[in-house]
Amino acid sequence: MYNGIAASRGIGIGSICVIKEHDLSYESRKIEDVEGEQKRFNDAVEKFKKETSEMAEDIRKRIGPKEAEILEGHLVMISDPTMAGEMGKMIAAGQCAEAAVEAVCDMFIGMFSKMDDELMQQRASDISDIKISLLKNLLGIEDVDISKVPQGTVLVAKDLTPSMTSQIVKDNVAGIITEVGGKTSHSAILARALEIPAVLSVPDATTLVKDKDTAIVDGTEGVVYINPDGDVLSKYIIKREDFIKKQSELAAFQGKETVTADGINLELFCNIGTPKDAKKAVECDGEGIGLFRSEFLFMDNNHMPTEDEQFAAYKEAAEILGGKPVIIRTLDIGGDKDIPYLNMKKEENPFLGYRAVRYCLGNKDSYLIQLRAIVRASAFGKVKIMVPLVTCVEEIRQVKELVAQIKKDFDEKGIAYDKDIEVGCMIETPAASLIADLLAKEADFFSIGTNDLTQYTMSVDRGNADVAYLYSTFQPAVLRSIKHIIECGRNAGIPVGMCGEAAADPLMIPLLISYGLTEFSVNPVLVLTARCIISKWSKAEADALAEKVMALSTESEIQSLLKESAKE
């Protein structure tokens, strides 16, 4: 068994075809006929451009415009005067075209690959792809035609370049294994777009295997088996069937409403960290954003983002969602989230310290900047404010007071905003849960943060492996707390959502339906799974199960009963 990066989900089983690297060696020579060499170079570039734009067009038609952009990017790069200009200069100085291409490309590859940014690294691999194509053209080497591989082929390559991928016939390629590449590399993006299971970054993959070996590619777990024994093979054949069945079942939920088996409509939102994720949420069919973790904007910066910078990010998310709710959580730092430029004090107990709303209310100037940015963004969609780590009524009152001040200021200055902008409260501490009835009178909505609620209720550091056995949302203490919070919200007539990880847990979903949760906020990739599970439970069935669960005394009894009752 070999491990790699799980880059495209699914199980592929098939016969290996190793894509050998071409020998691109050449003899570096001094050129007398500079004009002739320049023409040879120009012809190679023209051939590259022609083939690349044909491939881009083909990818656009077969896969999609976003994926075609990768190859179009190559065209832009080769047309960049710096790159071609540098190569031309070297040829003019008497270098052969191959040496000019190699030297200039290697210079850019070296520059980009040193940068600590995945996009820049990707640019290095784009230039490497361009270099290989140009050298092949100059040396008259023809590519292996991947479009001719038979059905059930598992492709094994050092890297799968966009040019190779454009030849893939989806029905013939069962899986992809490469030696390099990460989750966001072009090969990963294209494999996902083609829905071909792929495991990348398997060290020495091309030398470990030979043509016609049998391979299992588990693109969900990032695992590869070569010539597996009968038991492993049969296990994976069943796994593959299950995956295919589940996928087709899930596809049926795309574009549908989120409803229980007996027709209760629920909201299925997404958790995001950046405006870019908002696009993903929409693509994954999220019905809104239930948690925009605004701290990522602060963490990805070397300075405190200005009001305008924050406004731009919140507005972008609001516009992407096109009027659907976007719940922006105000800065939740401290605990395990440090932001170096804020120079926060080291604390003995950071999880119990100066964090989240406590820090914000203690640093009102910067908090006002964030709240102003959010309120301004409310003119561009259905934006809501959510306050993290609330433990007492004063905190939510103070935030509402700041929002009221901002509204007054905006009215005076004629700055547009949504007059009905809501201010909600995260319930993620035992204190907030115990006074949920009081908080419900102040807040416009609740969202339960089970990640922290579990940590604080169980007195367990959520990142400490030694006590991880206690960190479970299925602990009776946590379940009682969740049920109580939802009841308090319902009694006060405010909506209650959940944005902790538990909202997407298939075992938890029936309990949440029974308790009366109305909004589930999950990772975008889990939207369809959550919608599918919700559709399988009626309120009456969920109530019957919840009644039994709430009568049990231990976490393990609860988990066992929920597993037995799970609907596949």
Q: How far is the CB of 454 from ligand PEP (least distance, A)?
A: 8
Cα–Cα distance between 272 and 114 in angstroms, integer? 29
Can you tell me whether residue 518 is helix, strand or coil?
A: coil
Handedness of CA 239, 241, 243, 249 (dihedral sign): negative
Would you say 98 or 452 has its CB closer to ligand PEP? Answer: 452
Would you say 222 or 424 has its CB closer to ligand PEP? Answer: 424
Would you say 271 or 378 has its CB closer to ligand PEP? Answer: 271
Q: Name the nearest CA neighbour of 432 among 448, 419, 420.
A: 448
Would you say 187 or 330 has its CB closer to ligand PEP? Answer: 330
Q: Which residue of 449, 489, 497, 506 would you call a contact of ligand PEP, by CB under 6 A?
A: 449
Can you tell me whether residue 314 is helix, strand or coil?
A: helix
Using CB positions, name the residue nearest to Mg ion.
452
The residues annotated with a catalytic role in the active site are: 186, 499
Q: How many CB atoms lie within 10 A of CB 79?
A: 11
Task: Please give, one letter per residue, the 3-state secondary structure of 212-270.
Answer: CCEEEEECCCCEEEECCCHHHHHHHHHHHHHHHHHHHHHHCCCCCCCECCCCCECEEEE
Q: What does 179 bind: Mg ion, ligand PEP, none (CB cut-off 5 to 8 Å by kind)?
A: none
Would you say 147 or 464 has its CB closer to ligand PEP? Answer: 464
Q: How far is the CB of 455 from Mg ion (least distance, A)?
A: 8
Q: How far is the CB of 475 from Mg ion (least distance, A)?
A: 17
Q: Which residue of 179, 316, 428, 519 would you call a contact of ligand PEP, by CB under 6 A?
A: 428
User: Which two tokens mark 392?
Assistant: 């007492």
Would you say 456 or 537 has its CB closer to Mg ion? Answer: 456
* Cα–chain center distance at 293: 13
Residues 468-497 as b/e (b if ≥16 CB within 10 A, e otherwise) read: eeebbbbbbebbebbbbbbbbbbebebbbb
Backbone angles phi, psi at 129, to 5 degrees: -65, -45
Q: What secondary structure does DSSP assign to 326-382, as a single string?
A: EEEEP---BTTB--GGG-PPP-SSGGGSS-HHHHHHHSHHHHHHHHHHHHHHGGGSE
Would you say 100 or 485 has its CB closer to ligand PEP? Answer: 485
Contacting range for ligand PEP; rule: CB under 6 A; set: 141-149, 412-420, 433-441, 444-452: 444-452
Q: Which residue of 38, 113, 451, 538 would you call a contact of ligand PEP, by CB under 6 A?
A: 451
Containing H/E element for 456?
Answer: helix 450-458
Using rule CB under 6 A, residue 424 touches ligand PEP: no
Cα angle value 155/156/158 (rounded, 5°): 135
Task: Please give, one letter per residue, the 3-state secondary structure of 137-191.
Answer: HHHCCCCCCHHHCCCCEEEEECCCCHHHHCCCCCCCEEEEEECCCCCCCHHHHHH
Contacting range for ligand PEP; rule: CB under 6 A; set: 30-38, 223-231, 272-280, 447-455: 447-455
Q: How far is the CB of 457 from ligand PEP (least distance, A)?
A: 11
Using rule CB under 6 A, residue 355 touches ligand PEP: no
Cα–Cα distance between 64 and 184 in angstroms, integer? 17
Binding string, 422-441, against Mg ion, x = CB under 5 A?
------x-------------
**Could you tell me which residues are beta bridge partners of residue 446?**
425, 496
- Work out whether strand 223-226 and strand 2-3 pair parallel, antiparallel, or are unpaired: antiparallel
Contacting range for ligand PEP; rule: CB under 6 A; set: 85-93, 99-107, 255-263, 450-458: 450-458
Contacting range for ligand PEP; rule: CB under 6 A; set: 108-116, 223-231, 281-289, 445-453: 445-453
Q: What does 450 bind: ligand PEP, Mg ion, none (CB cut-off 5 to 8 Å by kind)?
A: ligand PEP
Q: What does 499 bind: Mg ion, ligand PEP, none (CB cut-off 5 to 8 Å by kind)?
A: ligand PEP
Q: How far is the CB of 560 from ligand PEP (least distance, A)?
A: 25
Q: Name the nearest CA neighbour of 523 among 277, 164, 309.
A: 277
Alpha helices in 459-526 (DSSP H): 476-492, 509-515
Q: How many CB atoms lie within 10 A of CB 204?
A: 10
Using rule CB under 6 A, residue 293 touches ligand PEP: yes
Segments of 411-554 assigned E as strands: 423-427, 446-448, 496-498, 519-522
Using rule CB under 6 A, residue 267 touches ligand PEP: no
Q: Which residue of 129, 452, 519, 555 would you call a contact of Mg ion, by CB under 5 A?
A: 452
DSSP letter (8 states) at residue 294: T
Q: Which residue of 449, 489, 506, 510 would you call a contact of Mg ion, by CB under 5 A?
A: 449
Using rule CB under 6 A, residue 500 touches ligand PEP: yes
Contacting range for ligand PEP; rule: CB under 6 A; set: 79-87, 162-170, 449-457, 556-564: 449-457
Q: What does 498 bind: Mg ion, ligand PEP, none (CB cut-off 5 to 8 Å by kind)?
A: none
Q: Which residue of 326, 499, 504, 542 would you call a contact of ligand PEP, by CB under 6 A?
A: 499
Would you say 275 or 449 has its CB closer to Mg ion? Answer: 449
Would you say 293 or 315 has its CB closer to ligand PEP? Answer: 293
Please state the length of the chain. 568
Token pair 């690959």 in the structure block, residue: 113
Q: How far is the CB of 530 from ligand PEP (least distance, A)?
A: 15
Provide the binding-site residues for ligand PEP, judged by CB under 6 A. Answer: 291, 293, 332, 428, 449-452, 499-500
Provide the binding-site residues for Mg ion, judged by CB under 5 A. Answer: 428, 449, 452
